Amino acid sequence: MSVEWLRRLRRGGPAERPGGARESVPRSPQPAPPRYRRPKFLRGGEESPRGGRAVRGAGPERPLPWGSGYAEVINAEKSEFNEDQAACCQISVRRREPGLEEDQEWLILCSTQFLTGYYWALFDGHGGPEAAIIASDYLHYCIKQKLEEVAGAIVEARPPMHLSGRCVCDSDPQFVEEKHIHAEDVVVGALENAFQECDEVIGQEMEATKQTGGCTALAALYFQGKLYVANAGDSRAILVLKDTIVPMSSEFTPETERQRLQHLAFLFPKLLDGEFTRFEFPRRLKGDDVGQKVLYRDYFMEGWGYKLVEKADLKYPLVHGHGKQARLLGTLSVSRGLGDHQLKVIDTNIEVKPFLSCIPKVNVFDFALHDIKEDDVLIMATDGLWDVLCNEEVAHMARSFLADNRTNPQRFSELAKSLACRARGKKRGHQWMLDDSQEASYDDISVFVIPLHNRVEDS
């Protein structure tokens, strides 16, 4: 099983690679939790002194794919570690011809049977840094593996009904066409399955090493001329083009997913164990409200109604608070992500995981349909940035910075630093403030700036 393969790879046991070759890595006798570290491409190094919240970026000595820029800032003592993590790499997808023997496969390896993808991802951990570290180590493996499983189907515009390419029915190609299934849909399916598999890996690892916690995941994949952005959580990616901003993700929070969460509680009331109410009210109700009709929403409502308040409605609501204060079961501020398999509501036996989803929403951008200009970029960032800067501000900064620095080869890296620095603000007394005297971000902040104009096409 594929999860087993990843586990063994991680533990250092003999791991069967997708191609069937075995890799020998020394086996550790006992599973150990992942060691805290910063993204691999930053080449280790210690955390910078905390008080300063220095902006850290990738240096020019080890360029990231496409000359992307990256920058990060630790939180203002919200947690012991910077719980954000980042990863980026090239993904080589080996195309296996089904049914070929190993020696025949070797022949294919010698020719050009690799598809190249490029990958960038951000993970925002909670309840500890471990889940984000594991996710940053493995999500790209999961994506690579899921793409390899369907590699035969994604090189043609129309994927075949049977992965083997063998036609069982003469009209199979017509059925595929009638359903409007394109290669791009199979890549989206691979990403959806990869997130699910990565979540399983994290669940097994965290249980084996007695760790807890979870993370959001925002992954961008450039593959076969298209950009796929898969998101589970509250990070965000936007395309900043010359004349327009294209949102490439939407956030999944207890507020944006209220109806899904309430519906689950309606279908399985036991999940709330008598401790929570699934109804939403503008504020937590109290004794004086009993017998009154107050504003409420149930799972089927986008509008609001009035409900006669009973004693049971005084329980803590399943989804409560709004904006950054919104919480699921009083516990989590996101409704999708990886990990959290062991998470329980404090002082109860109520599990949070049944309400969480690890499935990303995938948005696709087809470069063939757009005329990409020199300064066009994809900007990915964790909520630390977006909490204090809106899309328009970020786009404005990107456009003016890039226009003013055309000849600087480090401009994407410097733009990333500049964005992180702007969101962190400056320290005045004990407070971090934005330029306009608004409160700045106290959260971890991570930013990728990915240039789109001179992107490397598949080898």
Determine, following the binding rule CB under 8 A, whether residue 102 of this chain makes contact with its own copies.
Answer: no
Determine, following the binding rule CB under 8 A, whether residue 172 of this chain makes contact with its own copies.
Answer: yes
Q: x/- contact string, 395-434, with its own copies (CB under 8 A)?
A: ----------------------------------------
Quick one: tokens of 161? 């009904």
Among 193, 211, 277, 331, binds its own copies (CB under 8 A): 193
Within 10 angstroms of residue 299's Cβ, the number of other Cβ atoms is 18
Which contiguous run of DSSP H or E holds residue 386? helix 383-386
Closer CB to its own copies, 293 or 453, in the complex: 293
Which contiguous run of DSSP H or E holds residue 117? strand 114-126
Reduce the DSSP state of residue 177 to 3 states and report it.
Answer: helix
CB of 410 to its own copies, least distance (A): 37
Determine, following the binding rule CB under 8 A, whether residue 164 of this chain makes contact with its own copies.
Answer: yes
Instruction: Write out the binding residues for its own copies, residues 278-297 only, by CB under 8 A.
Output: 282-283, 286, 288-289, 292-295, 297
Determine, following the binding rule CB under 8 A, whether residue 266 of this chain makes contact with its own copies.
Answer: no
Determine, following the binding rule CB under 8 A, whether residue 150 of this chain makes contact with its own copies.
Answer: yes
Separation of alpha carbons 26 and 32, rounded Å: 14
Among 69, 117, 128, 159, binds its own copies (CB under 8 A): 159
Closer CB to its own copies, 10 or 258, in the complex: 258
Separation of alpha carbons 331 and 344, rounded Å: 9
Separation of alpha carbons 422 and 444, rounded Å: 13
Separation of alpha carbons 405 and 414, rounded Å: 10
| Count of chain residues binding its own copies (CB under 8 A) | 54
CB within 8 A of 184, min separation 6: which ones?
A: 226, 364, 366
257, with CB counted inside 10 A (0-12, 13-18, 19+), is buried
Sign of CA dihedral 143, 120, 378, 81: positive
Determine, following the binding rule CB under 8 A, whether residue 154 of this chain makes contact with its own copies.
Answer: no
CB of 146 to its own copies, least distance (A): 8
361 strand-pairing partners: 231
Determine, following the binding rule CB under 8 A, whether residue 227 of this chain makes contact with its own copies.
Answer: no
Residue 411 C-beta-side C-alpha neighbours within 13 Å: 18
Q: x/- contact string, 361-380, with its own copies (CB under 8 A)?
A: xx------------------
| Ramachandran category for residue 248: left, alpha or beta (phi over 0 → left; psi -120 to 50 → alpha) | alpha
Report, in angstroms and rounded to the nearest whole number, the Rg of the chain calculated over CA atoms.
24
CB of 361 to its own copies, least distance (A): 8
Determine, following the binding rule CB under 8 A, whether residue 188 of this chain makes contact with its own copies.
Answer: yes
CB of 162 to its own copies, least distance (A): 5
Separation of alpha carbons 201 and 139, rounded Å: 9
Residue 440 C-beta-side C-alpha neighbours within 13 Å: 25
Q: x/- contact string, 297-336, with its own copies (CB under 8 A)?
A: x--xxxxxxx---------------xx-------------
Closer CB to its own copies, 54 or 301, in the complex: 301
CB of 144 to its own copies, least distance (A): 15
Closer CB to its own copies, 45 or 323, in the complex: 323
Determine, following the binding rule CB under 8 A, whether residue 250 of this chain makes contact with its own copies.
Answer: no
Quick one: tokens of 343? 């998470």
From 66-74, 123-131, 190-198, 399-407, give the range in contact with its own copies by CB under 8 A. 190-198
First to last CA, the chain: 30
Whether the Cβ atoms of residue 359 and residue 353 lie closer than 8 Å to each other = no
Among 178, 371, 435, 457, binds its own copies (CB under 8 A): 178
Where along the sequence are the contacts to its own copies (CB under 8 A)? 149-150, 153, 159, 161-164, 166, 168-169, 171-172, 175-176, 178-179, 181, 184-193, 196, 267-268, 282-283, 286, 288-289, 292-295, 297, 300-306, 322-323, 357, 359, 361-362
